[in-house]
Structure 1
Amino acid sequence: MIPAESRPTDDKVRFPLGDVLRSVLTLRSRVPEEAFSASILGTERDGSGVVIDKGLVLTIGYLVMEAEEVWLRTVDGRAVAGHPLAFDPITGFGLVQAMGALDAPALPLGSAAGLRVGDPLVLAAGGGVKGALMARLVQRQPFAGYWEYLLDDALFTSPAHPRWGGAGCIDADGRLVGIGSLMLQQAPAGDTSNMVVPIDLLPPVLDDLKRRGTNPEPPRPWLGIYAQDADAGVIVAGVVRDGPSDKAGVEPGDVIATVGDVPVGDLVDLWRQVWVLGPAGTKVPLTLLKGEGAGGRVVIQSIDRAEMLHRPRAN
C-alpha cells in the first residue's frame, strides 16, 4: 500500500476523489504455461485497469496478452469476470470487457498533450485511496523498449508507484491522461520513476480494438530479438528461440551496426529504421558485429508478432 502521507486527499485535489478512484479496478489474469509470454511475464499477472465506458476497462497490454482468465475487483471488493478483448503491441494498451455489472463509473478521457514537467498527477492502482499516489510529471521523451516497442512521447512520473502496471494516471481535473506501464531506475542517482503511456494514443484506435481486438495499422515487422543500448552500440541481449532472428543466425552479444546501409545510433533509431522498411513479412537486412570487430550481414525474414501468441478461448 501507499504510505498515508503520499496519498491524495480531498484537500489536495480539485475533483471528487472518491468518485474518480471508483473507476480504477484491481485486475488479475491467468495465462497458460505454454503461452509465448509465460516464461517472461509469468502465468499469474496482477495489476489494475480503468473503466472508460460501460463495462469496458483499459489496462496495459502485457497484463492481458494471451490471457485465458481475467478477474476484475471493484473498490468495494466485488469480483467480476472479464474477457480479454484486445491487445495492441503498437500502443501497449489492452482492453477488457466485464462479463457482469461493475457498478463503477467511467473515467472521462483527458489529454496528455498539454501536460508540462512539474504538473501534479495522481497515479492510481486498484483499491481506492490506499492504492493512489500523488506524483508529478518529471519528463517526457521517446521511449524504446527492448521487446521491439517504441513510444515517440512517453510520460515519466515520480515518485514511482510500486503497483504501476495498468494504473490510471489522472490529471488535476480528474481525467485519465495515461496508463502505467513500467518502473525505471535512473543511474547514477538511483531515482525511480514510472513510464506512462499517454491516453492520446487511444482514441484513434479504440473502435478497432473493440471490434477487431488489434490496432488498425498493418502489423510491424517483428524480428524476435531483445535489444538494448550499450557503450558499444545497440547490442542483442537475447533472441527468441525459433524466431526470425534465431533462424537467421543472430546471437546474444551481437552489435547491430546498420539496418540496410543506414547506421544505427540507438534503440529508438533501430526500431524506427526496421519499421520504415514495410509491414510484417518484410525482409530486414542487418549488419552485425560479432566480437573483436568481426561481422557480416544477415537478412531476417520478419513475421507478425501475433503469429507467436497463444489465442485465448472465447468465453
Structure 2
Amino acid sequence: MNEFIEELSSNLVRTVESWKGSLVHIGGPGIPYRTGIVVQEGLAATLARSARDGEQIPVVTASGSATGRVEAWDGETGLALIRLEAGASTRPYPAVPETGETPPPGTPVLRVAYASPQGVEASFSIVRFSGGPTELGRRKVTGHFQVDGPAYPGFLGAAVVDLKGALRGVVVANEDGNDGWILPAGAWKAALEELSREGSRRPGRLGIFLAPVRLSRDQARAAGRDSALMVRGVVPGGPAEEAGLQPGDLILGVDGAELGDGGLPPLRAGAPVTLEILRGSERRALPVVPASRP
C-alpha cells in the first residue's frame, strides 16, 4: 500500500510540474483572481464577466509579473483570449493525447490553477457528476461535469487534467454547489477556435420593452401560434425604432425561428437579424441591427 501511495504521489507531482509553465495568474485592482491556460505561445485563455478589446490587465507567469491585453472576448460565454507581452515566459499546455469527451463519474482528476501570484496550486478530485447538453452563459454546449471538493479562490479558468496530464476540461464556474461546473476540453477548444476566428462577440440590444401575451383567436390564426412577445415600448433612437418597430407589435420569431420560452434569443451587437412580427392582422419581416449594451 505504501508503494502505491508513493507512486501515486510522484505521478501527481509530475503531472502538476508538467503544467506549471502553461498557466498564468490573472488578477489585480478590480479584477478578481483567476487562472489562464496558455493555448499557444504568448496567448492565454480565461473567463471574464466583462472585457474590452485592447484592455490591459496584470498577469503573473512562471517568469514573473507581466502585462496582458484582451485580444477577444465572448459576451455570451465569458471566454476571453489574452495576448501576453513579449518576453513573458510561457509554453502551450502539454500535448498529451486527449479525448475531448466528458469523463464519467468516478474518474480521478487534478484541478491545476495559478490561483494567486504565489504560484501554481492543485487539488485532487473525483468526477462526481457527468451531464449532457446545457448552456454556458447564453451558448449551448454538448456536455459538462462536476467534481467533488470546494470551490477554491482563483480556480476559475483552471485546467482539469487526468493522471496522465491530459486536459479533460476547464473550470468555467467556480462557486460551491451546482453553480460550479467544468466544460469538457473538446467543447472548450471548439469555442476558443471560433472566438479566435471570428473575434469578440458583444451582447446586443434592440431598445424595446417586451411582455409575453396570449393571442386572440384572430391573431392566432394570422400568426400560426397562440402566444407572442408584445412590444410595450420602444427606446427613442434605438435599433428597434430605427427599424420601424412600434408599440403593440407582436414579435413571432427571429431569423425564421420561433421564439422559445425564454423570449428573444441571444443577440450580438452588429449582427443583423430579421424580426417576424404581427401588426394588426398583417405579418411583416423587419431587419434590425442590434447595438452594443451600454
- TM-score interval (norm. to shorter): 0.5 to 0.7
Pairing of 1:187-202 with structure 2 (within 5 A): 191=177, 194-202=180-188
Q: Distance in 2 between matches of 1:302 and 1:134?
A: 50
Alignment partner, residue 101 of structure 2: 113
CA RMSD of aligned residues (A): 4.7
- Compare relative contact order (CA 8 Å, sep 6+) and give the higher one, 1 or 2: 1
State the one-letter code of the partner of 1:173: K
Q: TM-score, normalised by structure 1?
A: 0.58
- Relative distance call for 1:18 and 1:81 in structure 2 (3 A) is same
Q: Percent of pairs identical after alignment? A: 16
Alignment partner, residue 168 of structure 2: 177
Shift in Å, 1:19: 2.8
Deviation digits for residues 147-168 of structure 1 (CA, Å, limit 9, x no counterpart): 5343232232332422332222
Q: Distance in 1 between matches of 2:111 and 2:24?
A: 13
Q: TM-score, normalised by structure 2?
A: 0.61
Matched, 1:135 2:125: yes
**Secondary structure of the residue that 2:180 maps to in structure 1?**
strand
Alignment partner, residue 83 of structure 1: 69
Shift in Å, 1:96: 1.0
Specify which of 137, 155, 160 is matched with residue 164 of structure 1.
155
Alignment partner, residue 123 of structure 1: 111
8 Å CA contact retained: 1:178, 1:198: yes
Shift in Å, 1:48: 1.2
Q: Distance in 2 between matches of 1:79 and 1:160?
A: 28
Shift in Å, 1:44: 3.0
Deviation digits for residues 116-172 of structure 1 (CA, Å, limit 9, x no counterpart): 122122222215776322223222233336x53432322323324223322222222
Alignment partner, residue 148 of structure 1: 138
- Relative distance call for 1:221 and 1:79 in structure 2 (3 A) is closer
Specify which of 81, 95, 119 is matched with residue 95 of structure 1.
81
8 Å CA contact retained: 1:244, 1:300: no
State the one-letter code of the partner of 2:164: D
Alignment partner, residue 90 of structure 2: 104
Pairing of 1:254-265 with structure 2 (within 5 A): 264=260
- Relative distance call for 1:64 and 1:101 in structure 2 (3 A) is farther
Q: Distance in 2 between matches of 1:133 and 1:174?
A: 14
Q: Distance in 1 between matches of 2:34 and 2:276?
A: 38
Unaligned runs of 5+ in 1: 1-8, 31-42, 186-190, 226-240, 251-257, 288-298, 311-315
Q: Distance in 1 between matches of 2:181 and 2:54?
A: 23
Q: Distance in 2 between matches of 1:70 and 1:213?
A: 19
Pairing of 1:1-315 with structure 2 (within 5 A): 10-11=9-10, 13=12, 15-28=14-27, 43-62=30-49, 64-65=51-52, 68-75=55-62, 78-89=64-75, 92-108=78-94, 110-113=98-101, 115-126=103-114, 127=116, 131-137=121-127, 138-144=129-135, 148-162=138-152, 163-184=154-175, 191=177, 194-204=180-190, 206=192, 209-210=195-196, 212-214=198-200, 264=260, 274=265, 280-284=271-275, 303-304=289-290, 307-308=291-292
- Relative distance call for 1:72 and 1:264 in structure 2 (3 A) is same
8 Å CA contact retained: 1:91, 1:201: no
- Relative distance call for 1:130 and 1:87 in structure 2 (3 A) is closer
8 Å CA contact retained: 1:25, 1:72: yes
8 Å CA contact retained: 1:70, 1:81: yes
- State the structure with more CA Rg: 2
Aligned length: 245
- Relative distance call for 1:60 and 1:25 in structure 2 (3 A) is same
Shift in Å, 1:114: 5.1
